[in-house]
Structure 1
Amino acid sequence: MATVVLVLGPVLALLGAAASLEPLLDVPAVAAAVAVVLGLLGSAAFLVLASATYRAWLGWTFVALAWLLAVLASLWPLVAAADATVDHARDVLPRVVHLVRESA
């Protein structure tokens, strides 16, 4: 369970930081936060199922699914934030070039 929190916790912090820059970056912070929380709950459910089973192969399967869900739930918000940042950088670069040309 600690691994799930250690994976998804920093992602929620990144989303909070991105949401504070909402006028500048168009990050789907609410949808990403919901995805992270649902991923956290789903991973926790898989871990509870893994601890409740008596078959080793089924327990390891649930643990692997919990890990996979945690990675996927943390990957999508990171990609969304990176995409918004790249879009913003594409908007800023022509302005900087224009300012450099005007000052020269």
Structure 2
Amino acid sequence: MNAFVLLTFAIISEVFGSSLLKLTDGFKRILPTLGVVIGYGVSFYTLSLTLTELPLGMVYAIWAGMGTALTAMVGIIVYKEVFNIKKLTGILLIIAGVVLLDV
């Protein structure tokens, strides 16, 4: 399978797991906790598969940066967190940082 497809799947899985953290209530609720564990497990597994074809620095920058930016967007859309110019600037800087690391 294409390494970038696997990396995309790793990012989506990580965002899924991270987004459920809020619902776990300190890991007291079983279903969201299971979702976190599965999301992170799938994410780390597919992330490790990408490293057979792509360099670690590039993979980690894309995974962490896009995961952070997308998780922030989930917070805004799903959990109705505040969206302001500071948050927008932060997300754009994360994306810019990923692009700069990959150039």
Which band: TM-score by shorter chain? Answer: 0.3 to 0.5
TM-score scaled by length of structure 1 = 0.39
Q: Which protein shows a greater Rg?
A: 1
TM-score scaled by length of structure 2 = 0.39
Which structure is higher in helix share? 1
